[in-house]
Structure 1
Amino acid sequence: MRFIFRTFLCMFILIAPWCLADNGLYDTSCSSRCNSPKPTELPVVSQQPEVKKTYPQPTFRERVTADDVLPREHLSEGSFSDTYPDLTTQAVILIFLALSPFLMMLLTSYLKIIITLVLLRNALGVQQTPPSQVLNGIALILSIYVMFPTGVAMYNDARKEIQGNAIPRDLFSAEGAETVFVALNKSKEPLRSFLIRNTPKSQIQSFYKISQKTFPPEIREHMTASDFVIVIPAFIMGQIKNAFEIGVLIYLPFFVIDLVTANVLVAMQMMMLSPLSISLPLKLLLVVMVDGWTLLLQGLMISFK
């Protein structure tokens, strides 16, 4: 019975659209849609193209000429050579400015201090504590402290030379470059004295003997043991040697701690345990107990004359 009812219901659903279409109730044609009134169309506004405003361009005569920037008398032949240094002087000044950071590191106490601090960090076994930036900052501050008397003496000598002559308005002119070179020449003696005082005599004599064997005869005739070409490499070698001597003394107690710790662990059959995890706290305890950082930094500053 249910099956018959469902069959009639499906047939009614299929036949109903055609019955409604015959009575006009269900219009499948598009005539009604096609004959429907069209919506009111809006008037089209014509878009006129934008007119770009043009401004009158100045003529060549109205433009700024070279005379407005630089007077014509400065453009005469040979005027630049009288006002500005030649290319050789400019190159020397640029090279000196580029090498000044390296000269400050090599000709001061910075070299010895930074090497000693790095050796102390390696002896402790902590590769990144303190960081390298911190060690460089400590070495720089201590170098300023050590070199302060020498810097004051150099400044006083240079100031006397500058005050004795007329100061040029432009330091990059030929007169300004000459004044700077004369001031540097007068202020080099305090630096020379500092280098000689803190350089072993054996190093100076060694480099002087080497220069007598390798330099040309015309240079050896006017060379002395106090020249910068002899004193500077001797000072650098002496600073490196002293820094490594201090490093040996720093390494000895920490080496003993590492050796004892390793032997104790082997005797206790604890080979799987890293000796560094045991020796590092002992090293730090030793440094804290004896106030190692203060002793080391004070000793470094006192070692300079």
Structure 2
Amino acid sequence: MEIIETSVSGFRKYFYLCKSIKFPFFSLLLLSVFCLGMPLYAQSPIPGINISVDTANSPQQVATTLQIVFLLTILTMAPAILIMTTSFTRFVIVLSFLRQAIGTPQAPSNQIVIGLALFLSLFVMMPVWKEVNDVALSPYLEETISQEEFIDRATLPIKRFMGNFTREKDLALFVRIAKIERPKNIEDIPIWVMIPAFVVSELKVAFQIGFLLYVPFLVIDMVIASILMAMGMMMMPPVMISLPFKLMLFVLVDGWHLILGSMVKSFVDI
């Protein structure tokens, strides 16, 4: 009996010992397998990147490098080009004025205003970009025209679009500042002269539209302020009372359809 009890006691000690070292043992085993597998992954090293400046062996290599630098510069300036050569400026300024006139500076949010102005600009500019693709980009990709001819053909439809909405006064100002000869037609105007003249004209038109948007809402504010003053409620802000009436007026006249439709037609119907 003593032998049996001694055996049982020894077995229990062995069981508890195995149970206590079970987790560390398997952890050590897993770590060993991971370490042994590292040389297998080391057989396929990560490719390195080497950037070097070599001497050009031909003028063609220099021209290719300059073309890449020019393309990267254009991509960097793409947002500014999109804003300054399209109808985006007018749309975003008018929508911002509209928010202020109604009295809701945070509704619609800036993301919605910029997104709406962007897609309206894409809608307006689509015929122009289609013409650029037909007369310039497609022939250039087919290698039927040179790079210089591609630039001339691509900028011409854009200059025509901007010329339709640029005041002669603004265009004459920048032609005079640039000290160039008076252009006889739209093709003779450099693109770097046309763009600032176009932007100044768009700013003027956008501010004129903003003034017209402010007038009806300003009348509502004045009427509400007069009523509150007559009732002796001078401590109550008139804006708080007039905001529902301005929203109701804007909805009743279908303001979004009226304003956005008029602005889009002002570009498309030219």
Measured against the shorter chain, the TM-score band is 0.7 to 0.9
Distance 1:165 1:92 in 2: 19
Decide which structure has the larger Cα Rg and report it: 1
| 1:9-67, Cα deviation, whole Å (9 max, x unpaired) | xxxxxxxxxxxxxxxxxxxxxxxxxxxx9x7697xxxxxxx89879999xxxxx99xxx
Question: Where in structure 2 are there 5+ consecutive unaligned residues?
Answer: 1-5, 15-31, 46-53
Distance 1:264 1:154 in 2: 57
Letter in 2 for 1:271: M
Q: Which residue pairs with 2:120 in the alignment?
A: 142
1:82 offset after TM fit, Å? 4.3
Tell me the TM-score normalised to structure 1 length.
Answer: 0.65
In the alignment, structure 1 residue 129 sits paired with structure 2 residue 107 = yes
Question: 1:33: which partner in 2?
Answer: none
CA distance in 2, matches of 1:189, 1:54: 63
- 1:265 alignment counterpart: 228
Within a 5 Å distance, the mapping from 1:229-240 to structure 2 comes to 229-240=192-203
From 207, 217, 242, the equivalent of 1:254 is: 217
Aligned with 1:109 (options 84, 87, 90): 87
Contact 1:161 1:182 in 2 (8 A): no
Call closer, same or farther: CA 1:266–1:92 in 2, change over 3 Å: same
Q: Tell me, in whole angstroms, the C-alpha distance in 1 between the residues paired with 2:37 and 2:224.
A: 88
Single out whichever of 291-300 and 235-244 deviates more from structure 2: 291-300
The 3 A distance-change label for structure 1 pair 53 and 252 is closer
Number of equivalences: 231
Q: Give, in angstroms, the shift of residue 81 of structure 1.
A: 6.6
- Amino acid in structure 2 at the alignment position of 1:208: V
User: Could you tell me whether the CA contact under 8 Å between 2:175 and 2:182 is conserved in 1?
Assistant: no
Deviates more, 1:129-138 or 1:116-125: 129-138
Distance in 1 between residues matched to 2:55 and 2:176, nearest whole Å? 51
Query: Taking structure 1 as reference, are residues 211 and 285 closer, same or farther at Cα in structure 2, changes over 3 Å only?
Result: same
Identity, % of aligned pairs? 32
Task: Output the CA distance in 1 between the equivalents of 2:159 and 2:259.
Answer: 27
- Bigger proportion of residues as helix: 2
Q: Where do 1:152-231 residues align within 5 Å? A: 152-159=130-137, 161-162=139-140, 165=143, 182-212=149-179, 220=180, 226-231=189-194
How far, CA to CA, are the matches of 1:102 and 1:56 in structure 2? 51
What is the rounded CA distance, in whole Å, between the counterparts of 1:266 and 1:232 in structure 2? 50
Provide the rounded CA distance (Å) in 1 between the counterparts of 2:37 and 2:261.
76
The one-letter code matched in structure 1 to 2:155 is K
Match in the other structure for 1:288: 251
1:131–1:180 CA distance, 2 compared to 1 (3 A): farther
RMSD, matched Cα: 3.6
Structure 1 window deviating more from structure 2 (137-146 vs 225-234): it is 225-234
Normalising by structure 2, we get a TM-score of 0.73
Distance 1:146 1:205, change over 3 A: same
Closer/same/farther in 2, CA of residues 53 and 181 from structure 1, 3 Å limit = same
How many angstroms does 1:222 deviate by? 9.5
